[in-house]
Chains A and B, each alone.
Chain A
Amino acid sequence: MFRRQHYIALGLVALLALVLLNLPQIATTRLKLALGSFFLPLFGLSSASQSIGQKVVDTAIPRAILLQQFDELQRTNQQLRLEVTQLQEAAGENARLRQQLLWQQRTPWKLRLARVTSRDPANWWRTFQIDVGTRHGITNDAPVLIVEGLVGRVQQTGYTHSQVALVGDPGCRVAVLVQETREQGIVVPGAATATDPTMTDLVYLPANSAVKAGQNLITSGLGGVFPKGIAVGVVVEFQPSDGDLHTTARVRLAVNTGRLEEVWVIAP
């Protein structure tokens, strides 16, 4: 009898696993969000302790260092203001030309700052969770970036948290453009990605490609997920093909996602 009860219990566990694995995507997402909410108090606690720690550090910084930082920031601010003035002029000219050519106007990005709360426990995915969700206007596939370049895309959105698939994860393939040669390709995880998360492959380059090591990659805007012009990485190795239709290059990503603490999300 005792053994029979065990078998029944194990059968129920197996059945539960099979049901869960065969649930439709929308039901799985909702269930994951509900189960993930058990971690919210822990994320909140960690966030609060971090901000308290930051406040303690802030109060301990000597006045001389703060003044030095203030001077540096003021200088950078002035420099950036001059650049903005120059770019505003260029943007105005661009808008006028687009109007004359009846091209669609570019819409400015609505950026939302997010904190990285947790990383994927599995070693075979490159994803992390951020503390913004549908409540903050974030939708699926929203691009995630930092100043240095592209980080990834929002894969799953919850009310207060979202999951981001990083560039180099099988769930985040990016259509790119070689800035110098204007050749197009797709950045996908490569053989070296598991060892070094910043190394990926650039595939579907034309067989007669003129790509060289050191050339920059930016998003091409194709595919409709990532806007055009975000830095993705640099070509580090390229070997011309031996009669194949396409060729592949090795790319070092612009962003090392392993140490990120804050990111920007482009809200629609």
Chain B
Amino acid sequence: MNRFHLIALPLLALLSLYVETAVAWPRLLLGAQIATLPALIVFAALRVSFPALLTLLVLGALWRDAISADPLGLSLLSLAAVGTTIHFNRKIIVADQFYARFMVGAIAGAVVPLLMLLQLFTFGHEPLAGRFFAWQLAVMSVGSGLLVPFYFRLFDGLEQAFIHPVAAPDPRALRRNQTRR
């Protein structure tokens, strides 16, 4: 299960980042591009093991910064802060409910860009973040909230297709071992 997530999550991150940069209609229609990575991080934080989450965090953040004008490493801290906070508190999140998934995704979708902007201003950059950013933040938040349940459904299907339960040990072999002892 772990190996599947270790491979599938970074691949999905790469693909969703590509879609984010190649599809222009959300920006033209809504005035903001929906960030796909925070939602994927939320999914991973709620579902997979810590090493798989960490792999996704590092690779996803570096790939995202590589195709953006943001400084390299900028999104790593904010994604790691959000991802690990959710992961360590996942026992208190009712992650099988649509509403809970949506809310956690929406909060992450708003917090991650805010933390990134905070870092940008701290490092002396001048990003385009005026009053209109409040609208963009709302779009990113709702988009991210909707993407989390989508990722859950997608991975339910993928896990069903690629992960098979470990076969139970043969009872005759077990009995043979017991008699030998």
> What residues make up the interface of A, taking CB atoms closer than 8 Å to B?
6, 9-10, 13-14, 16-21, 23, 28, 31-36, 38-39, 42-43, 46, 117-127, 129, 155, 163, 165, 169-171, 189, 191, 193-195, 258-259
Cα distance A126–B68 when bound, in Å? 10
Interface residues of B (CB under 8 A from A): 14-15, 17-18, 20-22, 24, 27-28, 31-33, 35, 50, 54, 57-58, 62-74, 76-77, 80, 84, 88, 113, 116-117, 120, 123, 125-133, 136, 140
CB pair B68–A125 under 8 Å, yes or no, is yes
Q: How far is the CB of A162 from chain B (nearest CB, A)?
A: 12
Which B-chain residue is minimally distant from A171 (CB atoms)?
A: B69
How many residue pairs bridge A and B at CB < 8 Å?
148
Question: Besides the contacts A17-B73, A21-B123, A125-B69, what 8 more A-B pairs have beta carbons closer than 8 Å?
Answer: A20-B62, A35-B72, A119-B21, A121-B68, A124-B117, A124-B127, A189-B128, A191-B131
Question: Are B69 and A36 in contact, with the CB atoms below 8 A?
Answer: no
**Measured between alpha carbons, how far is A13 from B129 in the docked complex, in Å?**
27
Asked whether A194 and B130 contact (CB < 8 A) given A258-B24, A258-B27, the answer is yes
In the assembly, what is the distance between CA of A126 and CA of B129, in Å?
12
Using Cβ atoms and an 8 Å threshold, which residues of chain B touch A193? Answer: 128, 130
B80 touches A10 (CB 8 A): yes
Which of A39, A126, A129 has a CB less than 8 Å from the CB of B128?
A126
Whether B71 pairs with A21 at a CB distance below 8 angstroms is yes
- Taking a contact as CB atoms closer than 8 A, the residue among A23, A122, A258 that contacts B69 in the complex is A122
Closest-by-CB residue of A relative to B23 is A119
Q: How far is the CA of A121 from the CA of B54 in the complex (A)?
A: 22
| Cβ-defined contact, B126 with A42, below 8 A | no
Question: Which 4 pairs, one residue from A and one from B, show the smallest C-beta to C-beta distance?
Answer: A20-B73, A124-B127, A118-B21, A35-B66
